[in-house]
A = this chain, B = another copy of it.
């Protein structure tokens, strides 16, 4: 039995040299370029590695859609591990408007319904598809893409990202929902002044 204790103590010595296979986010400590600081291993529990995307998002809004993220901020277990998820709910006629993820590739899987989706490449090619339950699509990192419920029933999709913090830049928000002056929007997008002002009014932008 003595030998066994030696076995345990000696090899655990080695094992303890590598306590960190993961770095569960400690949102109260400094954040660095690679992500949040790590919680002390002794404080980590299975709850850090489990999250629920089981609640239907509220689609009673103008886009009839909801995005529920499970990024490192919400789901601390993925911090530093190069992956995260989100849930997409689309009521009939719902749309996730044109957007990009500045730091990640996305893969989408349709769990319910039918989704018309696509992305546009740097070479300006359009890749469009209509996805049914069980279909997956990949959107390469940083490219404009969108999802539309093209069926008559609610659609549900789950998306995964190649980053624990993929970012999300919604085109209409970037152009019309902040204080970027209308003159600059018009100059850099060739949109008409009336169009810009109309969408600024709808989305709460100023300037």
Whole-angstrom distance from the CB of A168 to the nearest CB of chain B? 5
Given contacts A6-B58, A100-B102, contact A17 B73 (CB under 8 A): yes
Copies of the polypeptide in the assembly: 6
* Chain A binding surface SS class: mixed
A74–B15 Cα distance when bound, in Å, is 12
Nearest B-chain residue to A73, judged by Cβ: B17
Nearest B-chain residue to A111, judged by Cβ: B111
Most buried by B among A15, A97, A125: A15
Residues of B within 8 A of A126 (CB): 178-180
Enumerate A107-131 residues with CB–CB distance to B below 8 Å.
107, 109, 111, 116, 118-129, 131
Nearest B-chain residue to A146, judged by Cβ: B188
Whole-angstrom distance from the CB of A99 to the nearest CB of chain B? 9
Residues of B within 8 A of A58 (CB): 6, 10
A64–B124 Cα distance when bound, in Å, is 21
Most buried by B among A26, A60, A102, A184: A102
In the complex, the answer to whether B98 meets A189 with C-beta atoms within 8 Å is yes
A36–B118 Cα distance when bound, in Å, is 24
Question: Please, could you name 5 A-B residue pairs with CB atoms under 8 Å apart, sorted by A?
Answer: A19-B122, A21-B123, A49-B129, A54-B135, A83-B107
